[in-house]
A and B are shown apart, each in its own frame.
Chain A
Amino acid sequence: ETGVTQSPTHLIKTRGQQVTLRCSSQSGHNTVSWYQQALGQGPQFIFQYYREEENGRGNFPPRFSGLQFPNYSSELNVNALELDDSALYLCASSLEAGGNEQFFGPGTRLTVL
């Protein structure tokens, strides 16, 4: 069984640029959730994808968007990067949406200069 993986590990961008982060879900999982974790804070929910459809969204602006592919891997896209977007971006996969353990990936550390 393969765990959740994310790429890249680290990324440095400048304000106004766009970024794409990738997540491969654990084998057999069809649900991927994305979280933003600022330094010293708990993860904040961005959105969830279930069977290729957005299944819920947190309080993030539309410049945060995502995709889920038929193999259930997922992308997080952020447009018009701002300094405050600097954070650890975590994805988590689960067997199904709702009431199931979420397995986290190692995260992508994004720095916006």
Chain B
Amino acid sequence: GENVEQHPSTLSVQEGDSAVIKCTYSDSASNYFPWYKQELGKRPQLIIDIRSNVGEKKDQRIAVTLNKTAKHFSLHITETQPEDSAVYFCAVENQAGTALIFGKGTTLSVSS
């Protein structure tokens, strides 16, 4: 089945710095790659997603890049703010389109 590796597990940055989180996956047939943000005690919320026919997608301070050949995708957050502090999960939809397979998460801490 699909396997998703996410790095790093923890990331500490200063306010205003950039943060990058990387994920690799195993199934080359996967086509949908969302990123979720989960604040403590709250539900995961989609922050950005990308499909396999696109290499990069941006939404204000957040961007995702996808390299289908290498089977990896990355989340980029620029000009980080303390409210960006949370756990971020990458996910890959399985080939059947029935499940999201999640990485183990990255705890991002932004200090002011």
Kindly name the residue among B31, B96, B99 whose own CB sees the greatest number of chain A CB atoms within 10 A: B99
Identify which of B13-21, B40-48, B62-70, B76-84 touches chain A.
B40-48
Q: Does the CB pair B31–A42 fall under 8 Å?
A: no
| Contact indicator B99/A41 (Cβ below 8 Å) | no
Query: Does B93 contact A99, Cβ atoms closer than 8 Å?
Result: yes
Q: In the complex, what residues of B have CB within 8 A of residue A102's CB?
A: 34, 46, 100
Residues in chain A near residue B97, CB distance under 8 A: 97-99
Q: Verify if A111 is at the interface (C-beta below 8 Å from B).
A: no
B51 near A: Cβ within 8 Å? yes
Instruction: Tell me whether A33 is interfacial, beta carbon within 8 Å.
Output: yes
Contact, CB under 8 Å: A104 / B44:
yes
> Which of A43-51, A61-69, A74-82 has 4 or more CB atoms under 8 Å from chain B?
A43-51
Contact A48 B104 (CB under 8 A): no
Chain B residues with Cβ under 8 A from A97's Cβ? 97-98
Q: For B52, give the chain A residue with the smallest CB separation.
A: A99
Interface of A is mostly: loop
CA–CA, A113 and B103, complex, Å: 28
Q: What residue of chain A has the Cβ atom nearest to residue B31's Cβ?
A: A99
**Once bound together, how far apart are the Cα atoms of A36 and B31, in whole Å?**
23
Nearest-CB residue, chain B, relative to A58: B99
Cβ-closest chain A residue relative to B45: A104
Could you tell me the distance between the alpha carbons of A73 and B106 in the complex, rounded to whole angstroms?
Answer: 31
Min CB gap B103→A, angstroms:
6
Instruction: Chain A residues near B89: list those with CB within 8 A.
Output: 42-43
Collect the chain B residues with CB atoms within 8 Å of residue A98's CB. Answer: 93, 96-98
Nearest-CB distance from B36 to chain A (Å)?
Answer: 8
Would you list 24 pairs from A and B whose C-beta atoms are within 8 A, ordered by A residue?
A33-B98, A33-B99, A35-B102, A41-B104, A41-B105, A42-B91, A42-B102, A42-B104, A45-B100, A48-B98, A55-B98, A56-B99, A58-B99, A90-B43, A90-B44, A98-B96, A98-B97, A99-B32, A99-B93, A102-B46, A104-B36, A104-B45, A106-B42, A107-B43
In order of increasing CB-CB distance, the 4 nearest A-B pairs are A56-B98, A98-B97, A42-B102, A45-B99
